[in-house]
Structure 1
Amino acid sequence: MNKDILNDLVLSVKKQKLNVLNVIVRQDGNIIGRHDFIEDKPNPLWSVSKTFTSMAVGIAINEGYIKLEDSIAGFFTGVSYSDISELHRKITIHDLLCMGSGHKECPVIKADWESKKDWDISRLFFEEPIIYEPGTHFTYDNSATYMLSKIISITTGINLDDYLYEKIFKYLDISKPLWDTCPKNIPQGFAGLHLTAMDLSKFGQLILDKGIYKDKQQLIPAKYIEQATRVQIETDDFNPYFATADHHQGYGYQIWMNSYPNSYRMDGLYGQYVVMIPDKNAIVTYVSNEQHNMTGVLELTWNTLIDKL
């Protein structure tokens, strides 16, 4: 453990009044720095959940349940969605993974979160018009990730949370976590997962290690991780108020590319990040509740830490 490596980061957190809760730094497979501003306990990870969903898809592909090129409409043949257009039928698993469904906006904003009546996100997905040719335009689309969660349930017969527990969590010594669900107990996929910072850092290590656990067990296919962690779609047009250079480097399979060369991240609302830096063989994990400057949490990596790794 390097007791000094996080000194500048901690000072910067306090100076900027960032509400960071926990930070863990791993390098060469070992924890070299850790600072708990509060006790490390399970927290909602928001969109960091998406990367877990992606890795479940990679495992399901390897097990023969689905293929990247599968049309997703084929998994919903028993459901009467009258508005499934020809463009909807062109959407593939690949398109969902890289947020290239063709929607102009995310249909989940139309979900009734309060009463949960008439709240079928798959119906909202198919009723939302397809504006762009699937696979050509990035739109940050929570419904796309939900559809992946539902497809895991349909094809494997096991819900996403159970599937990930059997395939990954139990090997990493992670107790089955809480995952908020949608109707019919389908895990949200796009959000809702609760883990500790330590659990999250273990998962980041597994991805950095190309899915290999303890140098012997291939829990996630390496080929899939290689695809997931490189640009699958451009993000130049993604310009919410908080966008920085780190949002314009491209998107993989539910994973963002960073402005720092050859690095990528899991990314969630309010400053949840797992920053993976292969050239340094390092991972930086943040759990936060920063509601005003969440990108400031990510930038701690570049401003206070990267040169020390």
Structure 2
Amino acid sequence: MINNLLDDLIGCVKKQNLQVLNVVVRQNGEVIAKHDFAEEKPILLWSVSKTFTSMAVGIAIHEGYFKIKDKVLDFFPDVPSKYLSENLKKLTVHDLLCMGAGHRECPISKAERDGRVINDICELFFEEPFVFEPGTHFTYDNAATYMLSKIISITTGVKLDYFLNEKIFKYLDIPKPKWDTCPKGIPLGCTGLYLNAEQISRFGQLILNKGVWRGEQLIPSSYIEQATSVQIKTDDFNEFFATADHHQGYGYQMWMNSYPNSYRMDGLFGQYVVMIPDKNAVVAYTSNEPENMTGVLELTWNTLVEKL
């Protein structure tokens, strides 16, 4: 352990009053520093959950359950004809993965804003107009990630949480975690997973290792290479909190960073797993930061990366 590696980071957290809970730094496969501002325990990871869903998709594709260019409608033959459009007919698994489904806004967010009771996310997904040609326009779309979880269930016969437990979690020595589900019992995929900072740092290490853990290839390296490279541009992402780290492009349920050749898992309130291949490093944060979550991410660039 490098005792003083996090001194500047800890000082910035206190100075900026950032509600970071835990931080874990790995380099060359080992934990080299960690600091607990609060007791380390599993917490809701919000959209960090999405990257786990993506990796399940990569494994399922490798095992032959479906293909990345498969049409989404092939999995859902009973979609009412009133929802069918030329854009929807073109929609593929790839488009779901890179947030290029074609919606102008996330159907789940829209329903929540309108005060609707959400019973069937699939129906929400299909009834929302597909105004863009799939793969051409980035819209941060929680419903698209849910559809990936649903496709895992349909094709493998196993729900996402059980699938990942067998394919990844047990190899990482992580007990099967809690994962919130929709009313129909399907893990949300886009959110809902509970893990602690050290556990998500292990998952980040697995991705940095191109899917290899203790000599075993758990996730296809070719899929990780696709997932961690730009699949769609994010120049137009204009949420109020957006920074340079939101305009570098998006892979398969992962963001590219402003720091060269690096990428991240990214969740609400400051949950991050930052992978920096040029430093052979992973930095994981759990937080409860309601005001300045990008400030948590920027701790990596401002206090840490040049020391690695």
2:22–2:285 CA contact under 8 A, matched in 1: yes
Q: Does 1:209 align with 2:202?
A: no
User: In structure 1, what is the equivalent of residue 120 of structure 2?
Assistant: 120
Q: Distance in 1 between matches of 2:222 and 2:70?
A: 18
In the alignment, residue 287 of structure 2 is paired with which amino acid? S
Q: Does 1:199 align with 2:212?
A: no
Q: 1:163 to 1:81 in 2, by over 3 A?
A: farther
Q: Does 1:49 align with 2:14?
A: no
Q: Which runs of 5+ in 1 are unaligned?
A: none
Q: Distance in 2 between matches of 1:201 and 1:81?
A: 45
In the alignment, residue 149 of structure 1 is paired with which amino acid? S
Aligned to 1:185, what secondary structure does the other structure show? Answer: coil
Which shifted more, 73-82 or 44-53? 73-82
Q: Which runs of 5+ in 2 are unaligned?
A: none
Aligned to 1:26, what secondary structure does the other structure show? Answer: strand
Q: Distance in 2 between matches of 1:183 and 1:32?
A: 41
Deviation at residue 131 of structure 1 after TM alignment: 1.1
1:81–1:123 CA contact under 8 A, matched in 2: no
User: In structure 1, what is the equivalent of residue 74 of structure 2?
Assistant: 74
Residues 147-193 of structure 1: per-residue CA shift (max 9 Å, x gap) = 00000000000000000000000010101111000022100000000
Aligned to 1:23, what secondary structure does the other structure show? Answer: strand
2:250–2:256 CA contact under 8 A, matched in 1: yes
Deviation at residue 58 of structure 1 after TM alignment: 0.1
Deviation at residue 77 of structure 1 after TM alignment: 1.0
Q: 1:113 to 1:65 in 2, by over 3 A?
A: farther
Deviation at residue 111 of structure 1 after TM alignment: 3.8
Q: Distance in 2 between matches of 1:138 and 1:115?
A: 25
Q: Distance in 1 between matches of 2:58 and 2:257?
A: 22
In the alignment, residue 250 of structure 2 is paired with which amino acid? Y
Q: How does 1:258-277 map to 2 (within 5 A)?
A: 258-277=257-276
Residues 59-87 of structure 1: per-residue CA shift (max 9 Å, x gap) = 00000011110000110114546412221
User: In structure 1, what is the equivalent of residue 281 of structure 2?
Assistant: 282
Q: 1:116 to 1:240 in 2, by over 3 A?
A: closer
| Number of equivalences | 308
Indicate the RMSD between aligned Cα atoms, in angstroms.
1.5
Q: Distance in 2 between matches of 1:85 and 1:148?
A: 20
Deviation at residue 114 of structure 1 after TM alignment: 12
User: In structure 2, what is the equivalent of residue 302 of structure 1?
Assistant: 301
Q: 1:157 to 1:200 in 2, by over 3 A?
A: same
Q: How does 1:206-285 map to 2 (within 5 A)?
A: 206-214=206-214, 216-285=215-284
TM-score when scaled to structure 2? 0.97
Q: Distance in 1 between matches of 2:165 and 2:90?
A: 32
Aligned to 2:289, what secondary structure does the other structure show? Answer: coil
Q: Distance in 2 between matches of 1:111 and 1:51?
A: 24
TM-score when scaled to structure 1? 0.97
Q: 1:131 to 1:113 in 2, by over 3 A?
A: closer
1:103–1:130 CA contact under 8 A, matched in 2: yes
User: In structure 2, what is the equivalent of residue 35 of structure 1?
Assistant: 35
User: In structure 1, what is the equivalent of residue 178 of structure 2?
Assistant: 178
Q: Distance in 1 between matches of 2:230 and 2:115?
A: 38
Residues 99-146 of structure 1: per-residue CA shift (max 9 Å, x gap) = 000100000024469998562111111111111111000000000000
1:98–1:254 CA contact under 8 A, matched in 2: yes
In the alignment, residue 108 of structure 1 is paired with which amino acid? I
2:46–2:267 CA contact under 8 A, matched in 1: yes
Q: 1:308 to 1:118 in 2, by over 3 A?
A: closer
